[in-house]
Amino acid sequence: MDRIKFGAAIGARGELIASQGKGQTVELKAQDIVVYGDCNPEEYPLQPKKQTLEYLREIAHLRFRTNTFAAVFRVRHALAFAIHQFFNDRGFFYIHSPIITGSDAEGAGEMFRVTTLPFDGPPRNEAGEIDFKEDFFGRSTNLTVSGQLEAELAALALSEVYTFGPTFRAENSNTTRHLAEFWMIEPEVAFADLQDNMQLAEDMLQYVIKYALKHCAEDLALLEERLIEEEKSKPQDQRSEMALTEKLHFVTGNEFVRLTYTEAIDILRNSNPNKKGKFQYKIEGWGADLQSEHERYLVEKHFKKPVILTNYPAAIKAFYMRQDEPREDVPGPTVSAMDILFPGIGEIVGGSQREERYDRLVQRMAEMHIPEEEMQWFLDTRRFGSCPHAGFGLGFERLVLFVTGMSNIRDVIPFPRFPGSAEF
RNA sequence: GCCUCAGUAGCUCAGUUGGUUAGAGCGGCGGACUGUUAAUCCGUAGGUCAAAGGUUCAAGUCCUUUCUGAGGCGCCA
């Protein structure tokens, strides 16, 4: 008995009987107990008490053993499984897009270089530049920032596809919702337009959240309890209006609000915080990108539910998004983009109908200085049997963040990678 | 990358306008008790106050730099 300390691994054999204790129905009346692994409590970093998430993050190799993280990772599993099930039920094919990519023209952010060249004295060409022809792949390569372009290639053959894999961004991002290595789901659908795209995203989000509510009830209850405890120490006005499961039911039971960027600007321009100068960035006119504070206002104050914003100004969006027909009531050119904004998380989905018209796409690439010669393989989809299609990217960890009610994205992935940290 | 806040025992924290030997709870160890659920009671050990430098008769407390962590912003999913 002396060896059974907190954290020890034991095996017990005995009779399962009705329990007299509170909060449990059965208990094991042990006949014999084996200690498999001792655990010295003086050295063991975990203790049977509340410990901060920041501290547990520093011992991420042991934090699986806490109730909170065990619950988080079971929910994470359920969500991943539900995503595959959702797409499979709808006839989508799971495509494995490459993790090492030769493309660096996607413009989705800074990339991590993949190389086997030596750092001291790499081979150089006649101009004195590093000669990547000598590198492992015979060219410069990076870790992928998105599987979208490859998914488009597959969609134009298999019609309905999705990717679900690791994604890497070398941005120096220090926030509660960014990681350098994260998992992204990217469906891509042929013959779909922006409306279809929005519907697919909303259906998917509601499906997987319902799945979690149904299959992770105990874990969500534990996480909800944790949140309620945590909020007791916060001032009244910072507490959330809904408990976790109530919030999830609300999202699955209500349609997302859909509005255009232009409509959103009108709402924001006439909003109280804008008139009273409460926004750090005042909304002056049409064309500027929305700041976090603006998105939060729309989602958390104005509509109080998930919001899908569409038809952003072309100037602030990616080259591959489909150009809209000009409209008299819209001040400038727009594209068929959509961002889904969730309370507390911000952007959880970013997508668009794709520009399927070869000439328009090439023209746009030229405007944005995307080297055409490196993108021939992508342009081939538009040269040979192009068709309307649409897709989006869902940040998996942001979804897990929302469903578990955790507040830092570093706590919903087992071993988070972020600037200055790649431990374990 | 920018801004703000924080770093005191294994963990969670208190430490007043700078002023004698730096405190508590939990955890550990020793004992008592026990159908317990974060058990309880008694006793006990445990600290280079993140690091370096400075101001001062005197620094956990003030200043500078560095490191680490958190939050906000930007980049985005």
pLDDT of the residue at A228 = 84
Return the pLDDT at A13: 84
**Whether the Cβ atoms of residue A136 and residue A115 lie closer than 8 Å to each other:** yes
Nearest nucleotide to A318 by CA–C1' distance?
B76
Specify the pLDDT at position A26: 77
CA nearest neighbour of A264 among A297, A305, A232, A240: A297
Kind and range of the H or E element at A189? strand A181-190
- Quick one: how far is CA A95 from the chain centroid? 18
pLDDT of residue A234: 65
Based on its alpha-carbon atoms, the radius of gyration of chain A, rounded to whole angstroms, reads 25
Local confidence band at A14 (pLDDT 50, 70, 90 cut-offs): confident
Count CA within 13 A, CB hemisphere, residue A236. 0
Q: Taking 80 as the threshold, does the pLDDT of residue A100 lie above it?
A: yes
A183 three-class SS:
strand
| Interacting residues of A272 by C-beta distance below 8 A, sequence separation 6+ | A278
The DSSP-derived string for A113-167 is EE--S-SSS--B-TTSSB-GGGSTTSS-EEE-S-SHHHHHHHHHHHSEEEEEEEE
d(CA A25, CA A335): 59
A304 touches strand B (CB under 7 A): no
Considering chain A, what is the average pLDDT of its residues? 91
Dihedral of alpha carbons A333, A281, A171, A345, sign: negative
pLDDT given for residue A93 in this prediction: 98
pLDDT reading at A143 higher than 80? yes
| CATH code given to domain A53-110+145-411 | 3.30.930.10
pLDDT at A237: 61
What is the Cα–Cα distance from A29 to A8, expressed in whole angstroms?
Answer: 19
A47 touches strand B (CB under 7 A): yes
Please, which residues bridge with residue A190 across strands? A389
What are the tens digits of pLDDT across the range A321-366? 999 999 999 999 999 999 999 998 999 999 999 999 999 999 999 9
Complex ipTM: 0.84
For residue A146, say whether its CB is under 7 Å from any atom of strand B.
yes
Structure tokens, A95? 């495509």
A407 touches strand B (CB under 7 A): yes
Identify whether the C-beta of residue A392 lies closer than 8 Å to the C-beta of residue A196: no
Q: For A42 and B30, how far is CA from C1' in angstroms?
A: 15
Annotate A328-393 with three-state secondary structure: CCCCCCEECEEEEEECCCEEEEEEEEECCCHHHHHHHHHHCCCCHHHHHHHHHHHHCCCCCEEEEE
pLDDT at A254: 93
The spacing between the Cα labelled CA in A51 and the C1' in B26, in angstroms, equals 11
What kind and span of H or E run contains A50?
none
Q: What is the pLDDT of residue A106?
A: 62
The residue type found at A234 is K
- Angle, to 10 degrees, between the axis of helix A194-215 and the axis of helix A217-231? 90
Please check whether strand B approaches the CB of A359 to within 7 Å. Answer: no
| pLDDT over 90 (residue A48) | no
Q: Which of residues 164-203 of A touch strand B (CB under 7 A)?
A: 169, 171-180, 182, 184
Q: Which nucleotide is nearest, taking the CA of residue A392 and each C1'?
A: B77
Give the pairing of strands A26-37 and A9-18. Answer: antiparallel
d(CA A165, CA A186): 9
Q: Which nucleotide is nearest to A24 (CA to C1')?
A: B37
| Nearest nucleotide from residue A20 CA, by C1' atom | B35
Check if residue A52 sits with its Cβ under 7 angstroms from strand B.
yes
- Spatial distance between the Cα atoms of A187 and A207, rounded to a whole number of angstroms: 15
Question: Integer distance in angstroms from CA A411 to C1' B23?
Answer: 33
Q: Locate the domains of chain A by residue range.
A: 1-44, 53-110+145-411
- Sign of the Cα torsion A54, A76, A200, A356 reads positive
- Across all strands, nucleotide nearest A394 (CA–C1'): B77
Residue A184 has pLDDT above 90, yes or no: yes
Q: Is there a contact between A7 and A43 (Cβ–Cβ < 8 Å)?
A: no
Q: Which nucleotides along chain B are within 7 A of a protein C-beta? A: 1-3, 10-13, 25-29, 35-39, 68-77
